[in-house]
Structure 1
């Protein structure tokens, strides 16, 4: 990776400041007198729960990825950043150290805590022996560009959730996939050659948060396409029988629109704006730039998926566009964590679960980018597919 010295300094400084800010959050909250038990945020959202009936056993397992149904999935996996790692999900605590935790058991795509509303937990209704779900919580694991300290993973809790807080696109193939492959091979419950696997990939927010200038190395759309294509090729070459759930990135600048509705969040961002410089420090110009870079990333993601479409019987890369739409900006501040008014709250993770579940069970020609959390929950039958087209 050829990085300019200036960019390395920028990344190192950014990582240091980000960690320092997280560890000093409790002082800010003490100063403004914030009560962790007080809602502060209005909002009216439908309760999220899994209400689908059980299904009879399948007559036969899927013979190829184009016949794959929710009941066929035996292994859940995830690659991503702090969103998938579950940072800040549970908001503020009386013990400020807990504010720094990743609540992996509640992560929308792969959390496995009892009672959690996650994609993996809902899949478990059709396969009680589902393997791979992350559980519980622990202090944050950080991988930020070239800064990826070794031996941070907690395999007993992370399981097959390889996401790392701060992760950028190059980290997925160079760091996270390596962990995932190690754990797949070690787990005696996994039949590597025969078990169908669901891998959710959701990343890019940290890249666009630094990429608004358009001149930062390895953050351009061309570099995004290069790294993500390499990632998909490595997944295909090393993991048999896998359905890649490739989630398009939402416009991170929408978080500005949401958080500015709250006086509390406006105070937070005056202190913590560096968490996403292109959203909170650069003004409207950089928010427009971050939106354009997000659009470019998503356009390239669609092209990457096309490269693999219909080529293999045991591998598919499927675009899930259903959280990308700008209507998410109409949400209330309840959807962001009270830790930093930036990361998704537990409510947002549950809304994402429902939207993405419906998206996965919708044919590609009928998917759209609307973040429609009010739509009825789709319940699969024995004929319902994890659609590849």
Structure 2
């Protein structure tokens, strides 16, 4: 070590010893102040009255990642509020029922698109998936009992047709504006709409009101209301399923005579239709879907940066679930062979979520049992028409992957025909090899300085311990005060 480095080490030692002694002086000064305050309290016989310590809530929030300003940059963790419009499927009618009379009961807490009871591991719903990304998400419905249930932002009405969507939209907006638990202007919202089954069931008795033109007219009116009055919103518009398949459900595995009678009561035209009538129903069903797609393709709901409508088509090309021996598995439906059971709600929730993770134009149109997709580093946002091209299709490989399995209640294994999941080439991160350019060799004098620093800090610690021990070795007699006077 040359003379220059030796002097540098000595200077460093002197500096640290000075800082150590200064720190000890500060601590001694603080101890003296506390002793003086203690003696004042004793001399004046002041016990000190209890006082408020001040507020501990200034409304301060920690947002290391600010919320996005555009709906096209909306990530799952950004979603604050969920809501839904629709009919008895979204209301959860009969979801946990074991007998036909239970269909009248609404199990809104397990509704596929807006139910929030329990957690993802026990109840697969869209809100429970979102809780994995934002545990504070709000708006989901819970409960079944009329006195204790909380509809929150589940505005679906059992028996509703598309003509009821405008009123449901106004109801939802009113609830959100008047709810103290949410911030209507600033919260990011996802609203799911699923409607049309009851329209198709009414084709025989109301052909004009159930026509594709009437269906799309009132659906558009409801979307217009949301677009005009609801800020920071992404609307999931789920296309209607192929309702002409209902008769197969009534004769599948787990179906009963009571189920067939109930289905014929709730949707008689479809349930009892002959082959010719089923073909007509299918054509009109397809026209519902086509006109819905045309409406959204106009771009009329993409005129603002904080609102959009995305079609989620996971049941557009409906394939019913089947058992291993080739029977339609009716256990995915409630005891009336019309509404969804909890299994059906779970499968709908999984496929709705996966649609949200798929680019517009490349979305799955056949539902099935599959792992939940996840946002990726390349595509962290929920897909919309404006952020889908170009896009890397997300795979099942997660950056944050909530995994789960759907519990079944039958002894048969259920399978479905489904399209293969789109995949992207495996991504690999470059390996960084650290050479001497990554760091510099520490010189000898630097090592000596570190050693001296450690010794100085150790000496300082020992001094503080000695002072503290001496202070604690002289305990004062405890005094009892009452109304400020020592007893």
TM class by smaller structure: 0.7 to 0.9
Contact 2:314 2:364 in 1 (8 A): yes
Deviations 1:314-370 (A, max 9, x none): 1101000011213226441111112x1211111010011111111111111211311
Q: Could you tell me how far apart the structure 2 residues matched to 1:258 and 1:264 are? A: 7
Which one of 200, 208, 214 corresponds to residue 200 of structure 2?
A: 208
Q: Could you tell me how far apart the structure 2 residues matched to 1:240 and 1:370 are? A: 31
| 1:259 CA drift (Å) | 2.3
Aligned to 1:112: 116
Alignment gaps of 5+ in structure 1: 1-56, 140-153
Q: Are residues 1:177 and 2:140 paired?
A: no
Aligned to 1:72: 78
The alignment partner of 1:127 has SS state of coil
Which one of 282, 285, 291 corresponds to residue 276 of structure 2?
A: 285
Q: 1:156 to 1:334 in 2, by over 3 A?
A: closer
Q: Could you tell me how far apart the structure 1 residues matched to 2:259 and 2:247 are? A: 12
Aligned to 2:44: none
Q: Could you tell me how far apart the structure 1 residues matched to 2:258 and 2:275 are? A: 19
Which one of 344, 359, 366 corresponds to residue 363 of structure 1?
A: 359
TM-score by length of 1: 0.75
Larger radius of gyration: 2
Q: 1:265 to 1:290 in 2, by over 3 A?
A: farther
Aligned to 2:157: 164
Aligned to 1:85: 91
Q: 1:121 to 1:271 in 2, by over 3 A?
A: closer
Q: Are residues 1:334 and 2:350 paired?
A: no
Aligned to 1:126: 133
Listed as ranges, the matches of 1:141-290 within 5 Å are 157-174=150-167, 176-212=168-204, 216-262=207-253, 264-270=255-261, 272-290=263-281
| 1:201 CA drift (Å) | 0.3
Tell me which of the two structures has the higher relative contact order, counting C-alpha pairs closer than 8 angstroms and 6 or more residues apart.
1
Q: 1:244 to 1:58 in 2, by over 3 A?
A: farther
Aligned to 1:62: 68
The alignment partner of 1:357 has SS state of helix
Alignment gaps of 5+ in structure 2: 1-62, 323-327, 386-487
Contact 1:212 1:286 in 2 (8 A): no
Q: Could you tell me how far apart the structure 1 residues matched to 2:64 and 2:349 are? A: 25
- Per mean C-alpha deviation after superposition, the further-off stretch among 343-352 and 363-372 is 363-372
The alignment partner of 1:388 has SS state of coil
Q: Could you tell me how far apart the structure 2 residues matched to 1:271 and 1:381 are? A: 45
Q: Could you tell me how far apart the structure 2 residues matched to 1:296 and 1:208 are? A: 11
Q: Could you tell me how far apart the structure 1 residues matched to 2:235 and 2:319 are? A: 25
Q: 1:295 to 1:60 in 2, by over 3 A?
A: same
Q: Could you tell me how far apart the structure 2 residues matched to 1:84 and 1:169 are? A: 14
Which one of 103, 110, 132 corresponds to residue 107 of structure 2?
A: 103
- Per mean C-alpha deviation after superposition, the further-off stretch among 257-266 and 223-232 is 257-266
| 1:378 CA drift (Å) | 0.6
CA RMSD of aligned residues (A): 2.2
Q: Could you tell me how far apart the structure 1 residues matched to 2:366 and 2:257 are? A: 27
- Per mean C-alpha deviation after superposition, the further-off stretch among 252-261 and 264-273 is 264-273
| Structure with more of its chain in helix, by fraction | 1
Q: Could you tell me how far apart the structure 1 residues matched to 2:175 and 2:261 are? A: 41
TM-score by length of 2: 0.61
Deviations 1:267-320 (A, max 9, x none): 531465121122112222222222211111111111121232542201101000
Q: 1:132 to 1:217 in 2, by over 3 A?
A: same
Q: Are residues 1:137 and 2:144 paired?
A: yes
Q: Could you tell me how far apart the structure 1 residues matched to 2:334 and 2:64 are? A: 40
Q: Could you tell me how far apart the structure 2 residues matched to 1:252 and 1:350 are? A: 19
Aligned to 1:313: 305
Deviations 1:91-131 (A, max 9, x none): 226xx865421000000001010132100111122222211
Q: 1:283 to 1:58 in 2, by over 3 A?
A: farther
Aligned to 1:7: none
Contact 1:228 1:304 in 2 (8 A): no
Structure 1 residue runs of 4 or more that deviate by more than 6 Å after TM superposition:
none
The alignment partner of 2:256 has SS state of helix
Q: How many equivalent pairs are there?
A: 313
The alignment partner of 2:319 has SS state of helix
Contact 2:250 2:337 in 1 (8 A): yes
